[in-house]
Structure 1
Amino acid sequence: MPFFLIVQSCTQSDRTIKIKGSDTEVNLAVNLAERFDNRDHRFSIAISGGGSGMGITSLMNGQADIANSSRPLTDEEKQMFKEKNIELRTVVFAEDATAFVVNKENPINEIDVQTLGKIMDGKISDWKSVSGLNLPINIYGRQSSSGTYSFIKKKLKIDYSPKAKEMTGNAQILEGVKIDKSGIGYVGAGYISKKINENKGIKVLKIRETPNSVTVSPLDPISIKNREYFFQRPLYQFIPEKAWEKVKPFIEYETKGEGRLIIENSGYYLIN
């Protein structure tokens, strides 16, 4: 599980902010925290990933002040917070455009949602009919605690192929696809470059919502702003009411001024 710790001289608990959860958000959170520290030295911020589910569970158990999540709360989670008398605030601070990536040697450049669903659930198990590549398809995905895992499953309305590899994070998915000519995987926008030539070893697929619709790239900010990309989604932070006053300066930094610029520079998109 990725772990990042920013330590300041202050040791008081009311100045220590624990942020846990989404692997999609963890690098962005670190970037924001590092720059926030340049402005405000009063806080000690600890950040770790592990998946949206882990962040939400940590929040429920009193082990986090902020849960990063790339998905909304489930009805079951809402009920559990209610039973524990934990009142939450929800902050939507950025938007992700989940990208599907293949190895650079794969001839494919675009794919429609229906075909993609058949690949991810195993109905299409080789590249021959899709890109002409005479190789079996290897799927690089996330573990079930991941919000991205749940998001893709819901959007494609599938159950994943039992042969799909479950990776611990976005970076591991990218590394797997880079060295596997038959690989395909999905990662958050912040893990790929908007400059195509900087995405070494991989190719970011353009997506068609239907076989006859136009292709849309997760790297195109205009398409994201116009909400044209099929796999775009908000990024959440859940905060217990009792922790709100403590974390408020950091949340305000994220959502205003310099924080918004950092979000864009980290490869994510601003909420319109």
Structure 2
Amino acid sequence: MKYLVCWAMLAVTACSNNQKAIRVKGSDTEVNLAVDLAENFYKVNNNFSVAISGGGSGMGIASLMNRQADIANSSRPLNAEEDSLFKKRGIQIRTVVFAEDATAFIVNKSFPLDSIDVATLTAVLSGKYKTWQPVTKQHIPVNIYGRQSNSGTHSFISKKLNIQFSPDAKEMNGNAQIMEGVKRDASGIGYVGAGYLLHDGANPSVKILKITEKQGRQAVSPLDKKAILEHRYYFQRPLYQFIPAASWQKVSAFIDFEKGPAGQKIIQQSGYYIIPGN
């Protein structure tokens, strides 16, 4: 995981100026994109410093509550409990939807299938299928590589499939760990952001499954840009930034950069999707 902290001597000076030091915490799905945006923002706004860290959507939101961040990156909306806590603490939150992402399901390169339907995926991730026998005719155990419950991606998939994840699912710290686990495990399955897979044009070391919403329908890849723009991929979602009103003036230059031509180009080049009219 990459972190962008105080830059050189000028940026160290900027870090001492609280109105020019922006703290961004949260979604592991968004962390590489956030670093790219911050690096390029600094090139034209070098009187600012931007510190980026991941750890999950829930961690970013908790950091806002504790006044330890100016922006919480999140791959899910606020839940009712979080919304209530912000109101009780008198913290007014502004919401920016700055990009869209697709969640990709990955398996080992040796996995015999190239696609999976939603019903089968539900049975696998919920623990109904303990082995791959009903899916691939292989009598080997299903090993699920996922995230902790404070992850926005974990929450997104759980709600989308209306499941509780199998209690045997491995809880990993982030996309990199999931990728590495599945890469080494012929019976593994995991999930990561498609933007993460495409970041820097890297050649994935795993197989990316196409998803069929229902049997008989066309399988759709999370890397199919046309399908995403047409909202034909089952696991696509908006990416959020939550900002306390007290921090809005400080971060507004960064938000404007994201929404401007340079920021929108970085979002697209990083494998994410821009929001039309954003």
Whole-angstrom distance in 2 between the partners of 1:195 and 1:19? 21
Q: 1:52 aligns with which of 57, 60, 70?
A: 57
SS in structure 1 opposite 2:275? coil
Matching residue of 1:4: 4
Cα deviation digits, residues 214-253 of structure 1 (max 9, x gap): 1111000000000111100000000011111110000011
Against the structure 1 CA distance between its residues 172 and 130, is the aligned structure 2 distance closer, same or farther, given a 3 Å change threshold?
same
TM-score, normalization by structure 1: 0.96
Whole-angstrom distance in 2 between the partners of 1:73 and 1:107? 38
Cα deviation digits, residues 160-195 of structure 1 (max 9, x gap): 101100000011100000010110000011221399
Residue 78 (str. 1) matches residue 83 (str. 2): yes
Residue 106 (str. 1) matches residue 106 (str. 2): no
Whole-angstrom distance in 2 between the partners of 1:20 and 1:194? 19
Matching residue of 1:39: 44
After the TM superposition, which residues 85-234 of structure 1 pair with which residues of structure 2 at under 5 Å, given as runs?
Answer: 85-193=90-198, 198-200=203-205, 202-234=206-238
Counterpart amino acid of 1:132? K
Q: CA deviation at 1:3?
A: 4.0
Unaligned runs of 5+ in 2: none
Cα deviation digits, residues 81-113 of structure 1 (max 9, x gap): 111111111000000100000000011100110
Counterpart amino acid of 2:188? G
Counterpart amino acid of 2:128? K
Counterpart amino acid of 2:229? K
Equivalenced residues, count: 271
Counterpart amino acid of 2:62? T
Deviates more, 1:122-131 or 1:21-30: 122-131
CA RMSD in angstroms comes to 1.6
